Chain A
Amino acid sequence: MAISPPSERLWWNEPIAKIELVWIVVAFLWGVVMFGMMIYWHAEGEQNLSNEAYRTTPEVFAEKANAMVEKYTVREEAGYPVVHPPPGSEVYLIARLWQWWPILELEKDQSYRLHISSMDWQHGFSLQPVNINLQIHPGYEMVLTATPDKLGEYGIVCNEFCGIGHHTMIGRLYVVE
């Protein structure tokens, strides 16, 4: 039994039953397939993180974001500037207690280099209803090239706990023609 010492002293010489052997081979090969799938997606898939990131400070990052906001603000909404940067440009998004700032307005099927960083604690960038989720750290500037492919109004929800106002940390993003 499993609660008593093996009845055969030389248990490592026991033969392995066929059903076990088949299952081990199947399970191992499935692991290889799943491992290969991640690599394959880097080659052929369209949803991969760039791995591009820089060390930064809240001050430096905020300065860049402010410069973008000053240049490309098109209107205001609920106290937030709505920024419409040109396609292909560098776009900055600030995460801080408890807002995503500013509101971005992007054009459909255009690519943007999106920079995100936190001013204080960790935050979770969760774009809804697309359900793209990223972890945002203070001191790190994450860069990825995003190509919004559907029109609409999107929410950016914070999904990393960031204190008592965490649930109020909701931002907005528009994708327009």
Chain B
Amino acid sequence: MAINEVFRICPSTGLKIHKPAENLIKANAVAAVVFLAIGGLFGLMVALTRWPAVHLLPADWFYLALTAHGLDVLLVWIIFFEMAVLYFASAILLNSRLATPRWAWAGFWMMLVGALIVNAAVLAGNSSVMFTSYVPMQASPWFYLGFLLFAVGALIGTFVFFGTLVVAKDEKTYEGSVPLVTFGALTAAIIAVFTIASGAIILIPTFLWSLDMGIVNYIDPLMYKTVWWAMGHSSQQINVSAHVAVWYAIAAIVLGAKPLSEKVSRTAFLLYILFLQLASAHHLLVEPGISSTWKIFNTSYAIYLAVLGSMIHGMTVPGSIEAAQRARGLTNGVFEWLRKAPWGNPAFSGMFMSLVMFGFLGGISGVVMGTEQLNLIMHNTLYVPGHFHATVVAGTTLAFMAITYLLIPLIFQRELILKGWAKLQPYVFAIGVGGISLFMMGAGTLGVPRRDWDIQGADSVLSFDYPATAYLMMGLNGMAATLAAVGGLMYVVVVVGSILFGERTADKKPEPGVAEQASVVGHYGSAGTLKLPGTAILVTLFFTAFVLYYFVNWKYLSEVWPLR
């Protein structure tokens, strides 16, 4: 029967793999990596320009590169990779065929063409409006059109994912409930629908306005920002859901880790669906014309319920790793399970550093900056990109890089080349990104603005001198960005090299793999494996850092001019 021809059995995991799904995963992952390379290069140029001693690009090119950087990495790289994650978490993990591969390909091509149009519009030089394209500043109509095309393509991919869940359920390809990772991917997909709908609501009128044909003559800037961020911020919550799902997946594949409790982890994802969309408010805390009541409720995701979700994952992911390691006999002391973790496996090291940096750097700074009054001393300074490089680059990008090392043998059926590089890559990238994040936050607390070509104010009539420390921070940021770029380049070389030249794994005998290791882990919920002193110490450390840093910032705020 024809159906047998479209499936293969993975020799190392026993998973039934739908070939059209596999091809789509490959295409989306490759497109993602290509745009990561392009966007990363733009990012490096931005950082080198902001390094006062280097000051690489002229002003017009700087603003162009910054616009392209944001679009290519924050949007294109991540969403393409998320499509791969969605197809993996549905068709592959559920042993199912992918629903309507033809529609999935249509979505893929729309995304690709959309991304190319946006890039062309930006490179043409008349659309250097930044990723956010705040009105009344206007880009070329192609800019908005490309953006919309990309979003519709992504929406199609999301619905293919939903369709696959229905197909798998209908054809009984799995028993009981979907795996936790699929549940996390489902969370991401649901948020994606909300996100893309918001994007359409704001970008379609903006596109019509940019045509200057009299169809739409005016777009209120405050309304634009409010709705735009319902897309802009929610899309970051797609990333959070997706990379948390990836954390669970890597912990499961590499260590056979089980969630401590399905109920708790799934409820935490549910909190994302219910509350993450309120975060548009994070960008509106110092705007005119919005009440404090609205700001407080929305910026806190209704009493921090989405933050609660992240804090739960921040405990259950290391907790599940500790439980798995202890069940394997690494029970000496508090941290043997962590010390003897597979630090040489780039999937694990990347995942764990993503977890730690997302929590300590990205999570804490995000909550602090998203506090109504504290935003006054941070809004639009470099603190903001400092924060989101910790969440989106150290968090999402590093997690996606980590799982690529598992996808190459599983989906591309190739051995990794340059294993030494692969081993080192997550560390180089993580140190670089950690530096970018910290130094930008540091510069931001000293008042350095974001999206600014020259803080020395050489061309301005009036000037302001930043403290020498601010210049130091910008220099260190340039160096850290260079290191991160090296880490990014290593990733691209290893991934592209392995796909093209890696030894085919299909030719090799299956190794005792995941399935066997997995059985080591006992029943979850049993008291025996749930003594997790290491995780308890880690979360206590996190909590202490969080509380201290939070109140330190209130102290800073109390020192600025009284405002009423």
Contacts and interface: CB of A to CB of B under 8 A. Distances in A.
A157 B179 contact: no
Interface of A is mostly: mixed
Contacts of A99: 461
B376 A170 contact: no
A147 B288 CA distance: 19
Contact of A53 (B288, B449, B554, B564): B288
Q: What bracket does the count of chain B residues touching chain A fall in?
A: 35 or more
Interface in A71-94: 78-80
B103 interface: no
Contacts of B377: 131-133
B137 A163 contact: yes
Contact of B178 (A5, A79, A120, A165): A5
B457 interface: yes
Interface string B238-256: 0000000000110111001
B546 interface: yes
A46 B177 contact: no
A94 to B, nearest CB: 14
Secondary structure call for the B interface: loop
A80 to B, nearest CB: 7
A46 B562 contact: yes
Central interface residue in B176, B371, B518, B536, by most chain A CB within 10 Å: B176
Nearest to A153: B464
B212 to A, nearest CB: 17
Interface stretch (B116-124, B145-153, B473-481, B522-530): B522-530
A55 B288 CA distance: 10
Nearest to A109: B562
A1 B523 CA distance: 10
Interface in B412-459: 445-447, 449-455, 457, 459
Interface size class of A (residues with CB under 8 A): 35 or more
Contacts of A145: 563-564
B67 to A, nearest CB: 9
Contacts of A78: 461-462
Nearest to A154: B464
Contacts of A41: 372-373, 554
A55 B553 CA distance: 33
Which of A42, A99, A128, A140 has the largest count of B CB atoms less than 10 A from its CB? A128
Interface string A40-80: 01100111111101010000000000000000000000111
10 contacts: A9-B176, A11-B177, A14-B261, A23-B315, A24-B312, A131-B445, A132-B377, A150-B561, A154-B464, A161-B63
6 tightest Cβ-Cβ pairs between the two chains A and B: A155-B464, A31-B304, A159-B449, A53-B288, A142-B288, A168-B460
